[in-house]
Structure 1
Amino acid sequence: MSLFRQLWLAVIASTVIAFAGSFLASMLTARHYLEHQLAIKNSDNASSLALSMSQLEKDPITVELQVAAMFDSGQYAAVRLIDPEGKTMIEKTSPAMAGDVPAWFIRLFPVASQPGLAQVSAGWNQFGTIELVSHSQFAYQELWDGCLKLVAWFLIGGCFMGLLGMQLLRNIKRPLDAVVGQAQAISERRFIRIAEPAAPELKSLASAMNAMVERLQAMFAEEAARLEQVRREATLDNLTGLANRAFFLNQLEAALSDDDAASNGTLLMLRVADLAGINKRAGRETADELLRRIGGKFAEIAASKPGAAAARLNGADFAMLLPGVQDPTATAEQLLSLLRDLSSAGLIDGERIGHLASGLYRHGQGIGNLLSQIDAALASAENQSGLAWCRAETGCEQHAASNADWKKLLEGAIETQRLRLIDFPVAGNRGQLLHLECPLRLQASENGEWLAAGSFMPMASRLSMTTELDLAAARLALDRVAAGAAAVAVNLSGESILSAAFRSSLQALISSRRELAPRLWLEVSEIGAFQHFAEFHAFCDAMRPLGCRLGIEHFGRQFSEIGRLHHIGLDYLKVDGSFIRAINTQPGNQAFLKGLCSIAHNIGLTVIAEGVQTAEELATLPDLGFDGATGPAVPRN
Structure 2
Amino acid sequence: MDLFPTFMRLSQHLLVSIVLMMGLLLFGTQVVGLWTTRHDMEMYQRKRARDAADHMAWAIGRFEGTAQQWISRLPKPDPDGPRLRLDETSQGRSITLWPADVEPAPGLPVLARRPYQSADGASRGDVVAYAAPGGRLPDAYLTGALLQSALFVLASLAWCFYVLRLMQWVRRGPLRSLARAALGNDDGQSAALLELRPVHEALTQNRLEQEQVVARLQQRIATLENETMRDAVTRLPNRRTFFDTFRETLRSTDPLTTGHVLIFRQRDMAELNRRMHHEATDQWLRLSAAQLQQTILEQAGTQAMLARLNGSDFAALLPGLAAQPAMALAERIRRELRLRRLPLRQQEWCRWAIALGSYKTGEQVGTVLARLDNALMRAETDNNDALHMADDCDTHHIDGEYRWQGLITRALEEHRFYLDVLERRDSSGQVLHEEARLALRGDESIPAPAFMPAAARLGLAGDCDIQALRLALDTRAKTPGPIVVPVALASLAQQHFLSRLERLLGDRPALSRMLTLEIDATGLVDYKDCLHTLCAITAGVGARIGVQRLSDQFAALEKLHQMPLAYLKVGGSFVRNLADSPGNRQLAATVARSAAALNVPAYACDADTQTLEPLLRSLGFVVLQPLPDEPLSTREVAAQPPPTELPKLPAASALRKRQEQSEQRLTEMAGALQSHRQLQSLLSHELRTPAATISAAVQSLETILAGSGEEVDSRLARIRRAVGRMIAMLDTMLSPERRGDQAMVPRLEVVDLGELAQDVCTSMQIDSAHVLLAHTEGPVPAICDPLLTALVLRNLIQNAIKYSPANQPVQIDAGLATTGEQQAMAWLAVTDRGSGLDENDVDAIFEPYFRRPAHRETPGSGLGLHLAREICISQGGALTAQAQPGQGARFVITLPAAGLAALRADNEPL
Considering Cα pairs closer than 8 Å and 6+ residues apart, tell me whether 1 or 2 has the greater RCO.
Answer: 1
Regarding TM over 0.5, the answer is no
Greater C-alpha Rg: 2
TM-score by length of 2: 0.28
